[in-house]
Structure 1
Amino acid sequence: MDKMVMLVGTIGQGVMRSADHGESWQRIGIYQGMHSDAMVRTLAHHPHRPEVVYAGTDKGLYRSDNAGESWEHPDSPLSPYAVWALTIDSQQPENMLAGTGTPNRSTLFQSGDGGQTWEERQAAIADECPNVGIPRVTGIAIDPVDRGHIWMGIEVDGVRHSSDGGQTWETINGAIPNPDVHSVTVAPGPPKTIFVVVNNEVYTSTDDGATWTALRIRETFPWSYPRSIFVPPDQPQTVFLTIGDTTPGRIGTVMRSKDVGKTWESLPLPTPPNSAMWSVHARPDAPDVMLAGSRYGYLYRSDDGGDTWHKLWRELSEINSLLAIPA
């Protein structure tokens, strides 16, 4: 097996890192440049240099240039915020967007120079909302077909859309009635499909958001609490979705569609998860290698694009995000 680094963003244990296919794990902390007991809400890698990794934490944004072995905390406008979501343009990686939220004000920042400088964007996010109090940005997706279009999901304040590369934003009202957004993505297709995941449904659009269709997951999925959606690199019609019975839940699985969301299958996990399935990721240079994690720390790996999985021995604290990158 070639070398691979696994990174797991946890709530209260910082980043957990394995460089030997999960045989051993290191907790990244102050001696590696990250503050102690960090809450890591999101992980993202540079699309052309996957050893460059970013972590959104309760104290802003961290960067690693060596696949998560050590980290630096650049001084930026993000530092006073909890960063919940981060996306990097796969074609123009100097374009980055970061969303913040609970317990700090929810807002959006954008960088045009690879994170050296950041500017706040106005997206009319509520100061408070039901169930969570201060809302948080839970997903940002750049349209891979028309990069001027960007979609943002907010828990619990709905969907925002930009048609000018993130400069200005509009609120999507009505067509998606549930504002409790967990995740967003855009699958190139064909057909190009926008996915918006809320806490009890998945909505899709094939006309740039003019109309939306509910998947009606209560009728077709084994459980009805979807969390995270993911399109693997170089597989434009394949979509993975993590689901569970509730949050944190007692059970869950990973769903897969190979036809941009028209039909779905539940992927077999050898050991039932101990909570809702929360995150899923594919290695950028070898998308058949995948990681999936439950909310309460079970880790699964697939080497065949999700057809089969095995559970890793290490069980962690609450999982928020995963990365599998070449060493």
Structure 2
Amino acid sequence: MSQDFTICVGTVGAGVWFSSDSGEHWRRSRMKLPFEAEPGEIQIRSLAVSPHNSHHVLAGSEAGLYRSEDNGANWDLVESPAYGKQIWSVAFHPGDPDTMFIGTKQPGVFRSSDRGKTWETLAIPMAERCLAGAPKVTNILVDPRDKKTIWVGVEIDGVYCSRDDGATWAHRVMGDKVLNLDVHGLAVAEGHPGKLLVTTPDGLWSSLDEGASWSLHGFPRFAERDQISYCRGVALRPGDPDTIFVGNGDFIPGKRGAIQRSRDGGASWERCKLPVEPNSVIYWFGTHPANPDVVVANSLHGYVYLSTDAGDSWRKVDREFGEIRALTWMPN
């Protein structure tokens, strides 16, 4: 296997770790902390690679927004209105290298159009409270088919959509249960007009009409006593919207996990064969258009898995971590 890409993992309490040789060796990233912050407080909950420059990465943390311009080796703190908040999602705008987004707990979505010098709050009419306390913005996605369309996933408040670059918003709700509002993962299938994918605790929801109607696919339960088969991350193989990956487990954090894959747009599914059974739910995925065959995935409790053949086979990275909340990879 050629050693030509960098993997970054975001941990709870230990910042970002990176491997510039495809997972063989690891180093802890250098992060410039605020004066009052303690190193153990750095809880990374989100990572995003710029579609304009793959060496540029954003990280959302308990201590604020961070930016790296060297594949995650060094990080600078970016001043933002999310300082002191839990940042649960970060994103670059695919149509503008200077525009980026932050999604927080409480909840809120902030946008900067000048690389973080100034910020605006997007007026999304989200709920201020839910059964789990304050809602959390788990996903921000600019539609690759229409750069003025923005999708926002909220735990626990469903999905919001703007067609006019954030000026106005419409609410999208899957099902009629509270679990159906607990949005974890969000993806838009490029090449499939209107196809939206959302993961919640009870499965993968899909819509072929921009969220007006939905269908649910539930995965096999791990034990008879399980009430649901819990789902977390969802990812599409770049350039191949029919290949879908879903992170699965018995619960959260769970004791068992699985990677579910479909190669026909979700019509049928198979559990990927992993060399070591996950020790918790499979939480997140990392893909990159530089090599659509490379997929990285993590269990919440510190395992990292790597495939270089689009999920046909996997290896577990030798290095294990504590709690992993974010994961990505980028070419060197």
Once the two structures are TM-superposed, the CA of residue 180 in structure 1 deviates from its matched residue by 1.1
Q: Tell me what 1:314 maps to.
A: 319
Separation in 2, partners of 1:150, 1:268: 35
Separation in 2, partners of 1:189, 1:137: 26
Separation in 2, partners of 1:98, 1:7: 19
User: Does the 8 A contact of 2:206 with 2:215 survive in 1?
Assistant: yes
Does residue 207 of structure 1 match 2:202? no
Aligned counterpart for 1:324 among listed residues 315, 322, 329? 329
Q: Tell me what 2:84 maps to.
A: 80
- The share of aligned pairs that are identical, in percent, is 38
Does residue 264 of structure 1 match 2:265? no
Moved more, 194-203 or 302-311: 194-203
Q: Tell me what 1:198 maps to.
A: 200
Moved more, 280-289 or 167-176: 167-176
Give aligned pairs, total: 323
| Letter of the 1:280 counterpart | F
Q: Tell me what 1:36 maps to.
A: 39
1:195-233, Cα deviation, whole Å (9 max, x unpaired): 12111122111111221111243589x971000111232
Q: Tell me what 1:94 maps to.
A: 98
Once the two structures are TM-superposed, the CA of residue 2 in structure 1 deviates from its matched residue by 4.0
Does residue 68 of structure 1 match 2:72? yes
User: Does the 8 A contact of 1:138 with 1:181 survive in 2?
Assistant: yes
Moved more, 106-115 or 294-303: 106-115
Separation in 1, partners of 2:59, 2:110: 15
User: Does the 8 A contact of 1:176 with 1:203 survive in 2?
Assistant: no
Runs of 5+ in structure 1 lacking a partner? none
CA 1:206–1:114 in 2, change beyond 3 Å: closer, same or farther? farther
CA 1:32–1:67 in 2, change beyond 3 Å: closer, same or farther? farther
Once the two structures are TM-superposed, the CA of residue 294 in structure 1 deviates from its matched residue by 0.3
| Letter of the 2:39 counterpart | S
Aligned counterpart for 1:179 among listed residues 174, 178, 181? 181
TM-score with structure 1 setting the length: 0.91
CA 1:55–1:205 in 2, change beyond 3 Å: closer, same or farther? same
CA 1:46–1:35 in 2, change beyond 3 Å: closer, same or farther? farther
Q: Secondary structure at the match of 1:94?
A: strand
1:122-165, Cα deviation, whole Å (9 max, x unpaired): 212222211x2111111122222223222211111222121212
Separation in 2, partners of 1:287, 1:141: 19
Once the two structures are TM-superposed, the CA of residue 43 in structure 1 deviates from its matched residue by 0.4
Separation in 2, partners of 1:244, 1:156: 19
User: Does the 8 A contact of 1:137 with 1:154 survive in 2?
Assistant: yes
Separation in 2, partners of 1:188, 1:22: 29
Separation in 2, partners of 1:90, 1:263: 31
Aligned Cα RMSD in Å?
2.4
Aligned counterpart for 2:246 among listed residues 241, 260, 273? 241
Separation in 2, partners of 1:180, 1:16: 29
Q: Tell me what 1:107 maps to.
A: 108
